[in-house]
């Protein structure tokens, strides 16, 4: 269901772009790709005098947080967690990379500790983001005997159905597969006491507005609701108004790419080849963790193999990979088993990997919005990043 709805959405948008192709050239101006980071020292995203141990949460949860070796909350965690612990609805306007996942998981897990009858649903726009949320949930709930299920397309529906029969406390889902299971009466959304809609603007961009409205219509009215979005336009505000009850609004400082990402272009000399120049760059010592974007699936696969042929450890990530392959590839990149990931725009949204030092646009993206999403994979969590684009 999820894949079908995405295909319909993107087919429509391909037709739209094609019909205007002669009238509208690329909206990217080369000068937009050259920019110094505003601050050499990026402001910290952490509350320096804060501590997770100040929150009224269970000792087991505090121990799991301590095990993750980060006891200082980020600014959004510091602001949001106390309100969620009090049972308030939240309207959070925040970008990725600021600790938002833990901001809702920590109080939700604590609520589950206090009341085993509570049921939780977290809805995310992409499989990769949903998988990352599940990974963080497993770390934060270690040893606390909490069951969870990951409900995403590309994975076995029968396996998901089997786990659901054991009534897990936490469901982490993408909209299409969740709607599908609800329509088949496998998931009863009216039993949900707590729901998080994460990165709502992305879900709407990806054509999930009808799925989101369906999910909201099936929920129990007696619930705690958390709503997170990087931007608020008319459509997202309309969803928020239907979804939330007297919410607390929390807005973090906008983390625009110009603040934390130094951007430049790579112009080839007549004697240079694009691939050779790329190899020269990624072999430099400061290119520790590099995400390379290509326009097509075929090119991402081909470029990754060429890099491997030159002894450069790399992997390719694109939509033709099975979900299990995608998970392994992301895990290898995240754990530094490979330091080069060649990807299509499947990685520009919903991929939250820390410490990416460089983003390289091997192919210029189709528009400036896609460019901003791509380079937003670096310069995260208060660190400076670098973006290079071949022109």
First-to-final CA distance of the chain: 38
Sheet with 340-343, strands from edge to edge, namely 261-266, 385-390, 358-361, 290-293, 340-343, 314-317
Per-residue model confidence as pLDDT tens digits over 98-134: 889 999 999 999 999 999 999 999 999 988 899 999 9
194 shares a domain with 245: yes
**Pick from 251, 269, 303: which residue ends a domain?**
251
pLDDT higher at 45 or 356: 356
Per-residue model confidence as pLDDT tens digits over 229-246: 988 889 999 999 999 999
pLDDT the model gives residue 373: 80
pLDDT the model gives residue 141: 97
Least confident of 182-191, 217-226, 307-316, 346-355: 346-355
- Tell me the residue ranges of DSSP E strands in the chain: 90-93, 120-123, 148-151, 170-173, 194-197, 224-229, 248-251, 261-266, 290-293, 314-317, 340-343, 358-361, 385-390
Which structural domain range is residue 111 located in?
A: 52-251
Least confident of 142-156, 226-240, 274-288, 362-376: 362-376
134 shares a domain with 66: yes
SS (H, E, C) 89-154: CEEEECCCCCCHHHHHHHHHHHHHHHCCCCCEEEECCCHHHHHHHHHHHHHHCCCCCCCEEEECCC
Q: Is the pLDDT of residue 332 over 90?
A: yes
Per-residue model confidence as pLDDT tens digits over 140-186: 999 999 999 999 998 899 999 999 999 999 999 999 999 999 999 99
Residue 43 forms part of a structural domain: no
Q: What is the DSSP letter of 189?
A: G
Which among 204-213, 275-284, 324-333, 379-388 has the top mean pLDDT? 275-284
Helices (H) and strands (E) counted in the chain, each on its own, are 15, 13
In angstroms, how far is CA 24 from the centroid of its own chain?
30
pLDDT the model gives residue 24: 41
323 shares a domain with 308: yes
Cα torsion 205, 327, 195, 93 to 10°: value is -50
Domain count, the chain: 2
Q: Is the pLDDT of residue 224 over 90?
A: yes
Q: What is the DSSP letter of 347?
A: G
Q: Is the pLDDT of residue 87 over 70?
A: yes
Cα dist from 275 to 51, 293, 364, 379, whole Å:
47, 13, 15, 25
Q: pLDDT band at residue 4, thresholds of 50, 70 and 90?
A: very low
Residue 286 forms part of a structural domain: yes
pLDDT the model gives residue 258: 52
Residue 342 forms part of a structural domain: yes
pLDDT the model gives residue 8: 43
Q: Using CA atoms, how far apart are residues 91 and 7, in angstroms rounded to an integer? A: 30
Least confident of 36-40, 115-119, 275-279, 319-323: 36-40
Q: Is the pLDDT of residue 249 over 80?
A: yes
pLDDT the model gives residue 26: 47
Tokens 């999910």 belong to which residue?
A: 215
- Mean pLDDT across the chain: 87
Residue 276 forms part of a structural domain: yes
Tokens 């190899």 belong to which residue?
A: 279
Q: Using CA atoms, how far apart are residues 244 and 176, in angstroms rounded to an integer? A: 22
Residue 46 forms part of a structural domain: no
pLDDT the model gives residue 164: 96
218 shares a domain with 161: yes
172 shares a domain with 305: no
Contact 80, 92 (CB under 8 A): yes
Q: Is the pLDDT of residue 252 over 90?
A: no
Which among 91-95, 251-255, 324-328, 358-362 has the top mean pLDDT? 358-362
- The contacts of residue 214 (CB under 8 Å, 6+ apart) are 179, 182
Q: pLDDT band at residue 6, thresholds of 50, 70 and 90?
A: very low
Q: Is the pLDDT of residue 9 over 60?
A: no
218 shares a domain with 110: yes
pLDDT the model gives residue 38: 53
Which residues does residue 385 pair with via DSSP β-bridges, in sequence order? 261
Residue 2 forms part of a structural domain: no
Residue 135 forms part of a structural domain: yes
**Pick from 251, 285, 311: which residue ends a domain?**
251
Q: What is the CATH number of the domain that holds 288?
A: 3.40.50.300
In angstroms, how far is CA 318 from the centroid of its own chain?
16
227 shares a domain with 302: no
261 shares a domain with 240: no
Cα dist from 100 to 117, 319, 339, 364, whole Å:
25, 26, 25, 30
Least confident of 42-56, 57-71, 305-319, 355-369: 42-56
Cα torsion 73, 76, 80, 85 to 10°: value is -20
- The contacts of residue 80 (CB under 8 Å, 6+ apart) are 90, 92, 103, 104, 250
Residue 178 forms part of a structural domain: yes
Angle at 49 between CA 385 and CA 260, to 5 degrees: 15
301 shares a domain with 220: no
Contact 364, 26 (CB under 8 A): yes
**Pick from 206, 229, 251: which residue ends a domain?**
251
218 shares a domain with 272: no
* pTM value > 0.85: no
Q: What is the DSSP letter of 288?
A: -
Radius of gyration of the chain (CA): 21
Q: Which helix (H) or strand (E) holds 168?
A: none
339 shares a domain with 220: no
5 HSE (CA, 13 A, CB side)? 21
177 shares a domain with 301: no
């Amino acid at each position: 269901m999820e894949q079908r709805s995405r295909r319909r959405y993107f087919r429509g948008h391909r037709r739209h772009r094609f019909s205007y192709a002669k009238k509208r050239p690329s909206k990217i101006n080369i000068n937009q790709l050259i920019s110094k980071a505003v601050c050499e020292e990026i402001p910290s995203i952490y509350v320096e005098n804060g501590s997770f141990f100040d929150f009224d949460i269970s000792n087991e949860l505090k121990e799991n947080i301590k095990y993750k070796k980060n006891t200082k909350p980020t600014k959004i965690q510091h602001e949001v967690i106390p309100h969620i612990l009090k049972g308030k609805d939240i309207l959070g306007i925040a970008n990725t990379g600021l600790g938002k996942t833990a901001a809702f998981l920590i109080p939700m897990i604590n609520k589950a500790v206090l009341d085993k009858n509570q049921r939780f649903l977290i809805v995310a726009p992409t499989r990769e983001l949903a998988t990352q949320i599940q990974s963080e949930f497993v770390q934060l709930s270690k040893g606390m005997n909490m069951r969870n299920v990951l409900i995403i397309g590309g994975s076995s529906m029968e396996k998901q159905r089997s786990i659901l029969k054991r009534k897990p406390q936490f469901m982490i889902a993408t909209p299409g597969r969740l709607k599908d299971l609800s329509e088949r009466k496998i998931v009863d959304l009216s039993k949900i006491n707590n729901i998080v809609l994460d990165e709502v603007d992305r879900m709407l961009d990806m054509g999930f507005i009808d799925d989101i409205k369906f999910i909201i219509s099936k929920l129990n009215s007696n619930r705690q609701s958390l709503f997170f979005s990087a931007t608020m336009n008319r459509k997202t505000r309309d969803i928020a108004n239907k979804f939330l009850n007297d919410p607390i609004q929390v807005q973090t400082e906008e983390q625009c790419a110009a603040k934390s990402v130094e951007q430049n272009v790579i112009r080839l000399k007549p004697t240079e080849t694009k691939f050779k120049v790329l190899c020269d760059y990624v072999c430099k010592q400061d290119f520790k963790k590099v995400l390379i974007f290509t326009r097509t699936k075929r090119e991402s696969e081909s470029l990754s193999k060429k890099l491997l042929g030159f002894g450069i450890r790399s992997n390719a990530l694109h939509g033709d990979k099975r979900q299990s392959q995608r998970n392994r590839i992301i895990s290898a990149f995240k754990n530094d088993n490979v330091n080069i990931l060649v990807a299509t725009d499947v990685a520009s949204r919903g991929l939250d990997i820390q410490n990416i030092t460089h983003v390289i646009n091997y192919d210029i993206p189709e528009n400036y919005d896609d460019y901003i999403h791509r380079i937003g994979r670096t310069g995260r969590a208060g660190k400076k990043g670098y973006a290079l684009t071949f022109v």
